[in-house]
Amino acid sequence: MTPLIPHDPAAVAALSSRLGIALAARGWVLATAESCTGGGISAAVTEIAGSSGWFDRGFVTYSNAAKEALLGVRADTLARVGAVSEETAAEMAAGALAHSAADVAVAVTGIAGPGGASPGKPVGTVCFGYALRGASPQTRRLVFAGDRAAVRGQTVATALAGLLALAEGLALP
């Protein structure tokens, strides 16, 4: 299990602000593709004044049908490995780029709980996809501790930290 990641409003605001500065410095625009966070990442970045200069759009694709229709996630991928998988997260991130004017995208899909666990995918499992235009998506799978709010909060904070690392030319945390 991943150690508890700080996700209080002040920490998220600080990450979002740093991300905005880093994206603006590179001239990059961001898109998000969210499932388990229900738009939480988009909400966090749009809290920052001036975010319209570096945020294009967010896709909230909670259902598998929405993932297919809005992001182009393949039905075969969903049938083979499920919605909560690194493969699905990669396709979501690539789809966010394909359907936006963004240069970088993050995608999250997971099991926030309290139900929804399956063999090999306990509550708290979240898959992240990060995509830069012209490059293959990168993925991460983490398992967070805590209740539904804690899992969702940690997912938002982790997504922002990963985007910040990419924008600063660093490896994903």
The pLDDT tens digits for 70-128 are 999 999 999 999 999 999 999 999 999 999 999 999 999 999 999 999 989 999 999 99
The pLDDT tens digits of the residues spanning 17-72 come to 999 999 999 999 999 999 999 999 999 999 999 999 999 999 999 999 999 999 99
d(CA 153, CA 70): 24
- The amino acid that residue 23 corresponds to is L
The pLDDT score that the predictor gives to residue 172 is 84
Q: What is the pTM of this model?
A: 0.95
Mark 95-128 as b/e (b = at least 16 C-beta within 10 Å).
Answer: bbbebbebbbbbbbbbbbbeeeeeeebebbbbbb
- The amino acid that residue 35 corresponds to is S
Tell me: pLDDT of 2 over 80: no
The pLDDT score that the predictor gives to residue 4 is 53
Q: Which of 41, 40, 47, 45 is nearest to 55 (CA)?
A: 45
The pLDDT tens digits of the residues spanning 129-167 come to 999 999 999 999 999 999 999 999 999 999 999 999 999
Domains in the chain: ranges and CATH = 9-167 (3.90.950.20)
In angstroms, the first-to-last Cα distance of the chain is 15
d(CA 169, CA 158): 17
172, 140 contact by CB (below 8 A): yes
